[in-house]
Amino acid sequence: MIKQDIIICRCEEITLIEIIQAIKEGAKDINGVKRRTRAGMGLCQGRTCEKLIRQILQKELKKFPEDIKIGTDRPPIKPVTFGELGGKDH
Amino acid sequence: MTYFDAVVIGGGVNGTAVAYYLSKKGIKVALVEKNDIASGTSGRCDGNVLIADKQRGFDTKMTYTSQLLLKELTEKIDYDFEYYQKGSIFVIESEEELTVAQELVQDQIEDGYPMRMMDKKEIHDEIPLLADDIIGGIEIACDSSLNPMKLSFGFALEAQKNGCMVFPYTEVKNIKCNNLGKIEALITDQQTLFTNIVVNCAGVWAPQIGKMLGVDIPIKPRQGQLLVAEKTFSPYWRKIQEFGYVTAKSQNGNYKRNIRPELEKLGIAFVFEPTLSNNFLIGSSRAFVGFDTDVSIEVIQGLAERATRFFPVMKDIHVIRAYAGLRPYVEDHIPIISKVDEVPGFYIAAGHEGDGIGLSPLTGKLISQMITGEETILPIDTLSINRFKELNKKR
């Protein structure tokens, strides 16, 4: 399998080669990759791909896992409808 | 020893724009950013370039000029920043709003801007999913949207092609002047960069840079929160805002929107922005909470409540994320794009509040023209930091 074909972020369909390109363009952490590629911006908010991207960053930048800054956790923990969130009965 | 003709502080959309326009003129420029490009305000905002909510006159002209520059940039920047010019819509809730809207539209048409009123039938034909009780709208044909992070990356990459050196993850520690008070060098946590010109594009952090040179920059962080919706069908294809918020602002408190006081207190105003990725963003809020970028449950509930008021259909659409950013607020809502008389070689391009993305091309262009001593495309007197001295004198 060639790098172009390996999808790392399933929600946004971002491939390994795109992530490596983002790192070449200066991304040094999860947010840097995200802002350049959209990896982690989808429905699951990086739950699946963040660990993989961390490994790729670590390998490309030759760093230890703990040196790679993780993404920013934001609510909601799981998708919630506008109706549930904005309903006046809570 | 590394010498640069100019050093730009701040890798947000305005800093990268300034670096781009300076480097295009063959100026040897460096860009210093304490984190990554677009990691501050430009990575936590929306991507609107609107004349819709601008004051008549210079305020509108600034954004309109910037819109024209942006269109040019799509040809010049070899990086897709998802620019599109589809226009924007204001939705109108009440007769009072309608009166204010008609006046505004008449004025702007007189000044040559592409705005027009839409009556009740027209707005509902145009936006079938809009709440039934909306009585009219305004269409602003020239308004546009873009991806702010990508525009920042685009500016930075093009600047680099022109020879600009970019120093990310580099924090400015001090700025050194010679005994005549002229800037000599920029000292960072990584190295010393020798230069006689420093442009402060640090946004909400601009005052901290100003302090290094004894310059008081009256910018305060003003927090805004946004919701991101899942990828789904889009309730509408153009940007929409509620006109009530503009009416309330323009009537100096004499007009009250039909909204819960709690939401009014949180500064909530409905803004809808479809993105090219088929998500949409919902704003907006405003609050002075220092440098806090956490979202709060009251605000995101309020945003969702206000959104479903205008689009009942959203009740069943999912919110996948909420985020907060800091707008660089200036009291008179006009950015500071200015040289500093007291410190030769020191320039400021900050304080754009919610208009930084849209005004970034204009900001870059103006600063580059000021530095090279060319005639500026717009008069710059109103943008000068000196206006605050006069304000302070009057107090």
What is the structure's pLDDT at A88?
A: 64
Cβ B315–A81 below 8 Å, yes or no?
A: yes
CATH code (residue B234): 3.30.9.10
Q: Are B126 and B244 contained in the same domain? A: yes
From A42, A79, A82, residue closest to B314, measured CB to CB: A82
Contact residues on chain A for B315, CB-CB shorter than 8 A: 81-83
Domain end among B273, B305, B329: B329
What is the structure's pLDDT at A4?
A: 74
pLDDT tens sequence across B119-134? 999 999 999 999 999 9
In a domain, B130, yes or no: yes
Per-residue 3-state assignment (H helix, E strand, C coil) for chain B: CCEECEEEECCCHHHHHHHHHHHHCCCCEEEECCCCCCCCHHHCCCCEECCCCCCCCHHHHHHHHHHHHHHHHHHHCCCCCCCECCCEEEEECCHHHHHHHHHHHHHHHHCCCCEEEECHHHHHHHCCCCCCCCCEEEEECCCEECCHHHHHHHHHHHHHHCCCEEECCCCEEEEEECCCCCEEEEEECCCEEEECCEEECCHHHHHHHHHHCCCCCCCEEEEEEEEEECCCCCCCCCEEEEHHHHHHHHCCCCCCCCCCHHHHHCCCCCEEEECCCCCEEEECCCECECECCCCCHHHHHHHHHHHHHHCHHHHHCEEEEEEEEEEEECCCCCCEEEECCCCCCEEEEECCHHHHHHHHHHHHHHHHHHHHCCCCCCCCHHHCCHHHHHHHHHC
Cβ A83–B308 below 8 Å, yes or no?
A: yes
Give me the mean pLDDT over the B271-293 stretch.
95
Is A42 touching B (CB cutoff 8 A)? yes
CATH code (residue B366): 3.50.50.60
Q: Are B254 and B123 contained in the same domain? A: yes
How confident is the prediction for chain B on average, in pLDDT?
A: 96
Q: Are B341 and B325 contained in the same domain? A: no
Q: Which amino acid is at A17?
A: I
In a domain, B260, yes or no: yes
Q: Are B240 and B293 contained in the same domain? A: yes
In a domain, B73, yes or no: no
Find, among B392, B383, B374, B390, the residue nearest to B348 by Cα: B383
Find, among A88, A13, A33, A75, the residue nearest to B320 by Cα: A75
pLDDT tens sequence across B202-252? 999 999 999 999 999 999 999 999 999 999 998 999 999 999 999 998 887
Q: Are B126 and B239 contained in the same domain? A: yes
Q: Cα distance from A2 to chain B (closest Cα, Å)?
A: 25
In a domain, B239, yes or no: yes
Is A36 touching B (CB cutoff 8 A)? yes
What is the structure's pLDDT at B251?
A: 83
Q: Cα distance from A1 to chain B (closest Cα, Å)?
A: 27
Q: Are B260 and B311 contained in the same domain? A: yes
What is the structure's pLDDT at B167?
A: 98
pLDDT tens sequence across B356-384? 999 999 999 999 999 999 999 999 999 99
Number of domains, chain B: 2
pLDDT tens sequence across B338-350? 999 999 999 999 9
What is the structure's pLDDT at A5?
A: 86
- Give the chain B residue whose CA is nearest to the CA of A26: B36
Domain A3-86 in this protein, CATH class: mainly alpha
Of the ranges A20-29, B108-117, B171-180, B384-393, which one carries the lowest mean pLDDT score? Answer: B384-393
Of the ranges A74-83, B58-67, B215-224, B242-251, which one carries the lowest mean pLDDT score? Answer: B242-251
Q: Are B37 and B135 contained in the same domain? A: no
pLDDT of residue B46 exceeding 70, the answer is yes
Contact residues on chain B for A26, CB-CB shorter than 8 A: 36-37, 166, 168
pLDDT of residue B255 exceeding 80, the answer is yes
List of long-range contacts for B387-392, beta carbons under 8 Å, 24+ apart? B387/B332, B388/B216, B388/B218, B391/B331, B391/B332
Contact residues on chain B for A76, CB-CB shorter than 8 A: 319-322
Interface predicted TM-score of the whole assembly (ipTM), two decimals: 0.93
Expressed as residue numbers, the domain containing B276 is: 112-139+220-329
| A-B Cβ pairs (cutoff 8 Å, strict) | 95
Percent of chain B with pLDDT over 90: 95
Of the ranges A84-88, B37-41, B84-88, B306-310, which one carries the lowest mean pLDDT score? Answer: A84-88
pLDDT of residue A90 exceeding 60, the answer is no
What is the structure's pLDDT at B375?
A: 98
Interface test with A, best of B310, B318, B323, B326 (most A CBs within 10 A): B318
What is the structure's pLDDT at A89?
A: 53
A66 — pLDDT class (breaks 50, 70, 90): confident
Interface test with B, best of A85, A88, A89, A90 (most B CBs within 10 A): A85
Q: Are B295 and B390 contained in the same domain? A: no
Percent of chain B with pLDDT over 70: 99
What is the structure's pLDDT at B386?
A: 97
A39 — pLDDT class (breaks 50, 70, 90): very high
Q: Are B237 and B324 contained in the same domain? A: yes
Interface test with B, best of A25, A28, A31, A35 (most B CBs within 10 A): A35
A65 — pLDDT class (breaks 50, 70, 90): confident
Is B277 touching A (CB cutoff 8 A)? yes
